[in-house]
A and B are shown apart, each in its own frame.
Chain A
Amino acid sequence: SYVLTQPPSVSVAPGKTAKITCGGNNIGSKGVHWYQQKPGQAPVLVIYYDGDRPSGIPERFSGSNSGNTATLTISRVEAGDEADYYCQVWDNGSDHPYVFGTGTKVTVL
């Protein structure tokens, strides 16, 4: 089945930019969704279809996708952005239609 690989952790200072990668074979041909999960809470969709933001998600969150890597970018990082982030793709014709990345813990220094 399809595998999505993320770095286990990313550290960033407040006010700086965090970039979280999601690697997969030809992932650029798929739509990638990103979720934020804070401790003890359910995941929240922050980016869908590579770079679209749901209502209520700050413009500081953006995404891109090309080749074998998708990237979630958090600009002007705030303490409240500290969380786990997961990428996800959908392959409707597959026996394993929904695949999540391994997850990245973002720590705000």
Chain B
Amino acid sequence: EVQLVEVGGGLFQPGGSLRLSCVASGFTFSNYWMHWVRQAPGKGLVWVARIHGDGSNTQYADSVKGRFTISRDNARNRLYLQMSRLRVEDTAVYYCARSLRGRFDPWGQGTLVTVAS
């Protein structure tokens, strides 16, 4: 069974940092682009970042460029999102997702990041 499990959410202060992790299982992790997508409370889905299967290519949404870093460890089947210079507006559920030809499938269950003082 293909599965993605995110960990690392919690309550953080503005200006702070954290790292989210996503553990993948059930598929050849290195063959796929992987992504982070977030959803603010009561709001819609917003794409955050993506990384190529071999880690050679990354891309970010303008709202997080320069503050967030996506990375992966293919030996451990893990995807990461290093988040720094946190803002209140970064508060959201963060999902990791696998993509194939532009569609996201599957998604992890999500982890809530709350940025507040």
Contact = CB atoms under 8 A, between A and B. Distances in A.
A45 interface: yes
A31 B104 CA distance: 13
A83 to B, nearest CB: 13
B44 A43 contact: no
A3 interface: no
B103 A42 contact: no
Interface residues of A, number: 26
Contacts of B95: 42-43
A100 B46 contact: yes
Nearest to B47: A98
Given A42-B108, A42-B110, A96-B61, A33 B103 contact: yes
A48 B98 CA distance: 14
Interface string B85-105: 000000000010000011111
B35 interface: yes
Nearest to A101: B44
17 contacts: A31-B102, A37-B45, A42-B108, A42-B109, A45-B106, A48-B105, A92-B102, A96-B47, A96-B61, A97-B47, A97-B50, A97-B59, A98-B47, A98-B104, A102-B44, A103-B44, A103-B45
Given A33-B102, A42-B95, A98-B35, 11 more contacts: A31-B102, A41-B109, A42-B110, A45-B104, A45-B105, A49-B101, A90-B102, A92-B102, A97-B50, A98-B50, A98-B102
Q: Which 9 A-B pairs have the closest CB atoms?
A: A90-B102, A98-B47, A42-B107, A45-B105, A100-B45, A33-B103, A103-B44, A48-B103, A43-B107
